[in-house]
């Protein structure tokens, strides 16, 4: 169930997970009329393999609160509110607004809202078992709110680090979930991301709370639980058997910041052939990563480069997004692409956490036919790590007006791949060796047809040179 120190994993209770095999009938997914649940007995928090009902007690009587079920194709979930729960902060309308807000902000750890609206009582009455249908008429209303979300196929366990980074991402986007417990977690194993569900206890955060570092925010969450529940109830950690602040949470923090290297996407990513496997060093009050490369040397040189407000810039081989963060700070509209899909997930979450507006995509430059147009394309110690150097040079030259490239006189590229046994290997890619800088400049003009070296900006460390190239105007 859990290990020691930062190895803690929360086990998601099987009876809280909708079965992968049994799927209820929801009928026409275009309008959601005619959906049905399996016949389920009316008892408090009733469940079935394909869905469940929440039946609360109010003054000794059963109160039908809500129902959840999956679509026939297994891709969507519908949640219907019959009566707002007297213990919940948010009704279904507010809950759907919160999810929509997170989606609009590009939140990685939130479920995807697909639709919301109202269902007529007749369609619901036909779907409910008789012992539950009687509750509808007593509600005295003719329509009921619903929302639909993309279904997340969940693994049975979720690492603590992935829970915490999800909480921190949503904090920076202004939302306190308010009810973190196993029943409200899903783990998207494909991406290695913890998804928080059920926002009926969520609240909007003030600017001051949004700015708290990781350690202080987790303490703030503890205080909120103590205010919300009776004395002695404990903190949110009470929901996770054996979870200790000292043994499990504290080791994930340093100087108030959260260690990104302990998350699943970071552990899975393969972007650098170094001992730790972490390339970019990130230093921020909320999150950190101890890598082998920072932006200190390059930022001084980049300060000499002119960027216009709103300039579109593509960072090829963006890794965790250090250069993208810098470009956003210069008023650009940056996009990052990276071969490894796991580091792309982390890059988007990190950008959301530190307040950078940017987009990240997993893309193999060797495999795409063309690139979308950008004003500037940045190639920082990356182009030689592709196999099709000349072909990729033509793609880049056709897609932009300016190139910022960092490279050495001699480069020997390598590219990761996964072998038949699932092990990461590194294969050789492109190689060049020039005797001097003039020869390098001539070679780069051949790799990027129609471009010429505009300026040698300076040396960025370890023999690397930062160069500005511009398209020749005919």
Give the span between the Cα atoms of 423 and 338, in whole angstroms: 19
| Contact (Cβ atoms closer than 8 angstroms) between residue 398 and residue 447 | no
Residues in the chain: 474
pLDDT of 33 > 60? The answer is: no
Rounded to an integer, the average pLDDT of 434-441 is 98
Rounded to an integer, the average pLDDT of 177-189 is 93
pLDDT of 256 > 50? The answer is: yes
For the stretch 328-360, pLDDT in tens is 999 999 999 999 999 999 999 999 999 999 999
CATH classification for the domain delimited by 269-471, as one of 3.40.50.1820, 3.40.50.150, 3.40.190.10, 1.10.3470.10: 3.40.50.150
pLDDT of 470 > 90? The answer is: yes
Give the pLDDT confidence score for residue 25 in this predicted structure.
Answer: 31
For the stretch 274-330, pLDDT in tens is 778 899 999 999 999 999 999 988 999 999 999 999 999 999 999 999 999 999 999
Give the pLDDT confidence score for residue 8 in this predicted structure.
Answer: 72
Give the pLDDT confidence score for residue 10 in this predicted structure.
Answer: 75
Handedness of CA 177, 174, 166, 364 (dihedral sign): positive
Q: Which residue, 376, 368, 379, is CA-closest to 400? A: 376
Q: What are phi and psi of 316, to 5 degrees?
A: -85, 125
pLDDT of 45 > 60? The answer is: no
Q: Quick one: pLDDT band at residue 137, thresholds 50, 70, 90?
A: low
For the stretch 384-435, pLDDT in tens is 999 999 999 999 999 999 999 999 999 999 999 888 988 889 999 999 999 9
Helix, strand or coil for residue 377? strand
pTM confidence score: 0.88
> What mean pLDDT value characterizes the chain?
85
Helix, strand or coil for residue 401? coil
pLDDT of 161 > 60? The answer is: yes
Q: Quick one: pLDDT band at residue 4, thresholds 50, 70, 90?
A: very low
pLDDT of 246 > 60? The answer is: yes
In our burial notation (b when 16+ CB lie closer than 10 A, e otherwise), range 371-406 reads beebbbbbbbbbbbbbbebeebbebbbeebebbbbb
**Conformational region of residue 464, where left means phi above 0, alpha means psi within -120 to 50, and beta covers everything else:** beta
For the stretch 197-226, pLDDT in tens is 999 999 999 999 999 999 999 999 999 999
* Both tokens assigned to 320: 């965790």
pLDDT of 2 > 70? The answer is: no
Comparing 156 with 405, which gets the higher pLDDT?
405
Domain spans in the chain, listed from the N-terminal domain onward: 1-11+154-256, 18-152, 269-471
Give the span between the Cα atoms of 262 and 268, in whole angstroms: 10
Q: What is the DSSP string of 7-54?
A: G-EEEPPGGGSPPSS-------TTT-TT---------TTEEETTEEEE
Q: Which residue has the tokens 């059920």?
A: 198
Angle (nearest 5°) at CA 51 between 49 and 53: 125
Protein fold of 1-11+154-256: Transferase(Phosphotransferase); domain 1 (1.10.510)
> Matching CATH topology for 1-11+154-256 and 269-471?
no
Rounded to an integer, the average pLDDT of 437-460 is 97
Give the pLDDT confidence score for residue 329 in this predicted structure.
Answer: 97
Give the pLDDT confidence score for residue 47 in this predicted structure.
Answer: 38
Estimate to the nearest angstrom the gap between the alpha carbon of 328 and the chain centroid: 19
Q: Quick one: pLDDT band at residue 11, thresholds 50, 70, 90?
A: confident
Percent of the chain with pLDDT over 70: 84
Comparing 137 with 404, which gets the higher pLDDT?
404
Q: Quick one: pLDDT band at residue 133, thresholds 50, 70, 90?
A: low
Give the pLDDT confidence score for residue 463 in this predicted structure.
Answer: 94
Angle (nearest 5°) at CA 324 between 399 and 170: 125
| Contact (Cβ atoms closer than 8 angstroms) between residue 123 and residue 34 | yes
Q: Quick one: pLDDT band at residue 188, thresholds 50, 70, 90?
A: very high
Rounded to an integer, the average pLDDT of 57-61 is 45
């Amino acid at each position: 169930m859990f290990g020691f120190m930062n190895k803690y994993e929360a086990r998601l209770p099987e009876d809280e997970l909708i079965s992968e095999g049994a799927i209820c009938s929801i009928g026409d997914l275009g309008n959601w009329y005619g959906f049905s649940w399996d016949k389920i007995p009316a008892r408090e928090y009733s469940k079935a393999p394909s869905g469940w009902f929440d039946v609360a007690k109010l003054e000794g009587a059963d109160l039908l609160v809500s129902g959840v079920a999956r679509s026939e194709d297994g891709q969507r979930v519908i949640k219907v509110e019959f009566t707002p729960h007297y213990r919940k902060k948010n009704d279904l309308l507010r809950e759907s607004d919160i999810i929509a807000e997170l989606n609009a902000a590009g939140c990685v750890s939130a479920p995807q809202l697909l639709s919301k609206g109202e269902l007529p009582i007749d369609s619901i009455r036909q779907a409910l078992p008789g012992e539950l249908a009687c509750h509808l008429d007593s509600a005295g209303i003719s329509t009921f709110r619903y929302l639909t979300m993309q279904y997340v196929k969940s693994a049975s366990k979720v690492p603590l680090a992935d829970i915490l980074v999800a909480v921190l991402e949503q904090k920076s986007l202004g939302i306190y979930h308010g009810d973190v417990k196993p029943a409200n977690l899903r783990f998207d194993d494909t991406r290695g991301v913890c998804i928080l569900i059920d926002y009926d206890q969520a609240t909007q955060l003030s600017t001051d709370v949004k700015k708290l570092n990781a350690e202080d925010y987790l303490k703030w969450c503890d205080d909120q639980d103590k205010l919300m529940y009776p004395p002695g109830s404990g903190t949110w950690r009470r929901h996770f058997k054996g979870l200790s602040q000292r043994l499990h949470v504290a080791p994930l923090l340093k100087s108030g910041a959260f260690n990104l290297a302990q998350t699943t996407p970071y552990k899975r990513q393969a972007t650098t052939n170094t001992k730790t496997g972490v390339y970019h060093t990130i230093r921020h009050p909320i999150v950190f990563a101890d890598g082998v490369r920072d932006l200190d040397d390059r930022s001084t040189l980049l300060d000499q480069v002119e960027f216009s407000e709103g300039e579109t810039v593509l960072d090829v081989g963006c890794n965790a997004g250090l250069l993208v963060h810098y470009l956003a700070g210069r008023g650009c509209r940056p996009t990052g692409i990276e071969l490894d899909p796991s580091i792309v997930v982390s890059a988007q979450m990190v950008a959301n956490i530190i307040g950078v507006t940017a987009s990240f995509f997993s893309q193999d430059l060797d495999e795409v036919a063309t690139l979308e147009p950008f004003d500037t394309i940045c190639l920082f110690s990356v182009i030689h790590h592709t196999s099709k150097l000349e072909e990729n040079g033509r793609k880049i030259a056709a897609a932009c007006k300016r190139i910022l490239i960092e490279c050495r006189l001699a480069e020997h590229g390598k590219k990761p791949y996964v072998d038949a046994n699932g092990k990461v290997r590194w294969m050789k890619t492109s190689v060049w060796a020039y005797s001097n800088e003039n020869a390098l400049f001539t070679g780069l003009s051949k790799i990027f047809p129609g471009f010429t070296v505009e300026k040698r900006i300076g040396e960025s460390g370890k023999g690397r040179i930062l160069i500005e190239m511009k398209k020749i105007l005919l």
